[in-house]
Amino acid sequence: MKNPLDSVLGTIISGLILTFVLYSFVKHFVLAGV
């Protein structure tokens, strides 16, 4: 499997996915008291 960081588009998509994952983590686990 190709590393997504090898392309600019793959890097941006990875960053957007990570943003969503971290936001969901904070919203549903950290703020909800786990």
Partner 1 sequence: MEYSLGIFRWLHILAGITWIGLLYYFNLVQMPAMKDAAADGTAAGISKHVAPRALLWFRWAAVATWLMGAALLGPNFASAFGLQAGYTGIGIGAWLGTIMLFNVWVLIWPNQQKILGLVSATDEEKAKSRRVAFLASRTNMMLSLPMLFFMANGLTHKALIGL
> Which residues sit at the interface with partner 1, rule CB under 8 A?
3, 5-6, 8, 11-12, 14-16, 18-19, 22-23, 26-27, 30-31
Distance CA 29, CA 23 (A): 10
DSSP per-residue codes, 1-34:
---GGGSHHHHHHHHHHHHHHHHHHIIIIITTT-
Quote the least distance from Cβ 1 to partner 1, whole Å: 15
| 1 vs 8, beta carbon nearer partner 1 | 8
Quote the least distance from Cβ 3 to partner 1, whole Å: 8
